[in-house]
Amino acid sequence: MARKHLLSDLKAPASSSTEFDEARAADVPTPQYAPRGAIGAVSRSIEALKSQGLSELDPELIDAPSVTDRLDEDGAQFEEFARNIRENGQQVPILVRPHPTVEGRYQIAYGRRRLRAVKAAGLKVKAAIRNLTDDELVLAQGQENSARQDLSFIERALYAAQLEASGYQRPVIMAALAVDKSNLSRLIQAATQLPDDVIRLIGRAPKTGRDRWYELSSRLAAEGAAEKARALLSTSEVGSLGSDERFVRVFDAVAPKKSKKEKVQADVWQADDGVKAASFRQDKRTLTLMIDKKAAPEFGEYLMSALPEIYASFKKSKQ
């Protein structure tokens, strides 16, 4: 589909509309971008949700976009959210656009979690329908997530990398994620250096920050490390843990092993009078001399005082 950077006409749906009360509409995030071009168009479109009617749609008619911004969350967290939807109803609408290629269907811009919960409850979903271009859909996703600030680091990184791989221009991605050029580069680098399937098996890991993910990418680069991570994550024991705990298990499992230094046996030096005054060990780089203070109490001090003379004699012998 050709990517358009100009605003399409944003029209409220004419059919099956219900008014949304002001208290609920106040929960819709306030846009954070300057009102220019596609960014301004999306800002005005989201702002309009506060005053315009909404449609009630069959959740089965709504499809995911080509690039999604969230990883699947832990079951317990979603169950708590879904329970709240069942008991109190859907408080905030989702945003959809008419499906670009399938007549009669829709594509969600944001609210996948709400859609999933409403669908599980057997209800129709309250939605605003807007005619959005591909770029405008991405920007709408970004605005809502920036307002809530609840995407984890790896979700942001994976989303940025997928958008770029799908052909979106970096200015659009930067606006969607509210980041500058350097931070966007770091996000994309983090995601592309990690195996995609391992990221998804671990999950969103909301408490795990950038540095830990970077370190994991370094550890997974070792031979056999990625395969070890996949095998661990496929076990029922680890798979049943929360995403942050899964990360820790993998992080520890692929830690580099500390190399065991080969111990070199020390040789004993015995003087003519039979006193075992010292021992020594050597390798390719060093010679370590150890004085036995018990066997020769004053020998160490004498040796240190005589060391300059010994070294000078050594240098003279080389001449």
Q: Are residues 47 and 146 in the same domain?
A: yes
Count other C-beta atoms under 10 Å from residue 47's C-beta. Answer: 15
Q: Which residues of the chain have pLDDT under 50?
A: 1-39, 41-42, 50-51
Q: Please check whether residue 303 lies inside any domain of the structure.
A: yes
Residues 223 and 274 occupy one common structural domain: no
Is there a single domain that holds both residue 210 and residue 127? no
Tokens 């996703």 correspond to what residue?
A: 141
Asked if residues 102 and 65 have their Cβ atoms less than 8 Å apart, the reply is no
The pLDDT tens digits for 98-124 are 999 999 999 998 888 889 889 888 889
- 53 shares its domain with 143: yes
Predicted confidence at residue 251, as pLDDT, reads 96
pLDDT, position 187: 93
Same domain? For 287 and 238 the reply is no
Give the tens place of pLDDT for each residue, 16-69. Answer: 333 333 333 334 343 343 344 444 544 555 555 544 568 999 999 999 887 777
Distance CA(296)–CA(309), nearest Å, equals 21
Instruction: Look at residues 135, 115, 134 and name the one whose alpha carbon lies nearest to residue 58.
Output: 115
Asked whether residue 31 is domain-assigned, the answer is no
Residue that finishes a domain, picked among 150, 185, 211: 150
Amino acid 223: pLDDT: 92
Q: Could you give phi then psi for residue 247, rounded to 5 degrees? A: -60, -50
What is the number of structural domains in the chain? 3
What is the residue range of 281's domain? 270-317
Tokens of 182: 């350097």
